[in-house]
Amino acid sequence: MNARLTVGQLLERMRDTLLLEPIGAAIGFDRPVTSHEASSPGLVLSGYFNRFPHERIQVFGETEITYLRTLDPHLRRRTLKAYFGYDIPCAFVTKSLDPPEPFLEFAAEAGIPVIRSRLKTAEFYRLIKPFLAEAFAPTVTLHGSLSDVFGVGLFFTGQSGIGKSECVLDLVERGHRLVADDLVIVNRRGNDVLIGRGHELQRHYMEIRGIGLIDIPAIFGIRAVRQQKRLEVVVHLEEWNQDALVERTGLEGETHTILGVELPKIRVPLNPGKNITVIAEVIAMNHLLRYSGHNPAEAFNRRLIDRMRQASANGGLLAPEGPSPSGAAGAAPADVRRYLQEDDE
């Protein structure tokens, strides 16, 4: 199986960010990086190799380099020989320090690349950890369209030809932003955050049946697109079926699981004349309301239950909330069924 990340790829992608330069022999850049962690040798340099996480990227800061320089030359040689006897992916040296002899000699013998950074150790860790976390994040490629609507990541799903791309195109025309169309690469950050982006080759292009491929930023401007977005709501478009059970109140929400993370899922049945774009905007705004602590369905349900309790206390009669048409408070109560029935006028 091919490695997800090699030392050479890490060097190429992070050279400018981490201010990197290889030192010593130019070898070992095809070595795989198999861990999303980076750590300093610590007690290993004193000869304690138990629980040594040698599969991690190794970082030598000023403390480690200074300690090695204080060792007796024979002890330093024995320590470094034992250290580079482990299968280490690579070793970084921060603050532009020069490692003492025979550091580079034993690294070259083991085929381990040594890379120097001009950054301080703390800054080096701060920048490399997010890179490694993203590189090793669980990833899946899904069929659908991802759009940023009022800051909410809506992931549109549905069978091919249902109208996902057309819906997102209409959202872009209304001022929202395209993230990815057709293929969405999703990776998990931490335990509950899903980040979606488009494939590098087709990023910000859309296929509209009857037209073909269109370049969204060229038509609508750079503000109409963004590189990535968190997935927050799954909007599933499906054909209208009058016999299907469709959620009417929003009290019993459906969820959709991606990479072990549950997302709220909204099923939108399609029929002629339905404005899917406005519905998508309402889905986004309703999600923001719920995120802020206000659930309209639960609020209405509590209100209805309170009114029914009042009716039960009044012997089955329900007092109106406001004054009677004559303006007198406490007018004749209405029947519960009348309160619930639809207005046919």
221 is in an annotated binding site: no
For the four alpha carbons of 54, 58, 64 and 66, in that order, the dihedral sign comes to positive
> Which 3 state secondary structure label does DSSP give 21?
strand
161 is in an annotated binding site: yes
Is 181 exposed, middle or buried, given 0-12, 13-18 or 19+ CB atoms closer than 10 A?
buried
Annotated catalytic residue: which of 56, 164, 188, 203?
164
Question: DSSP code of 167?
Answer: H
Annotated catalytic residue: which of 77, 170, 182, 265?
182
- Tell me the residue length of the chain: 345
Nearest to 237, CA basis, from 154, 145, 156, 172: 156
160 is in an annotated binding site: yes
DSSP 64-98: HHHHHHHS-HHHHHHHHHHHTTS--S-EEE-TTPP
158 is in an annotated binding site: yes
163 is in an annotated binding site: yes
Is 223 exposed, middle or buried, given 0-12, 13-18 or 19+ CB atoms closer than 10 A?
exposed
Tokens at 194, concatenated: 């899903």
164 is in an annotated binding site: yes
Tokens at 43, concatenated: 């007690």
User: How far is residue 261's CA from residue 177's CA, in Å, rounded to a whole number?
Assistant: 24
Question: Residue 182 catalytic?
Answer: yes
159 is in an annotated binding site: yes
In what helix (H) or strand (E) does residue 8 lie, and over which residues does it extend?
A: helix 7-18
Question: Residue 248 catalytic?
Answer: yes
Tokens at 11, concatenated: 């060097």
Question: Residue 76 catalytic?
Answer: no
8 is in an annotated binding site: no
Residue with tokens 């490694």: 132
Annotated catalytic residue: which of 248, 338, 343, 344?
248
Question: Residue 176 catalytic?
Answer: no
273 is in an annotated binding site: no
Annotated catalytic residue: which of 4, 143, 174, 309?
143
User: How far is residue 285's CA from residue 291's CA, in Å, rounded to a whole number?
Assistant: 10
Residues 237-276 as b or e (16 or more Cβ within 10 Å = b): beeeeeeeeeeeeeeeeeebebeebebbbbbbeeeeeeeb
Residues catalogued as catalytic:
143, 164, 182, 248
Binding site: what residues are annotated?
Answer: 158-165, 207
Binding site for ATP: what residues are annotated?
Answer: 158-165
Binding site for Mg(2+): what residues are annotated?
Answer: 165, 207
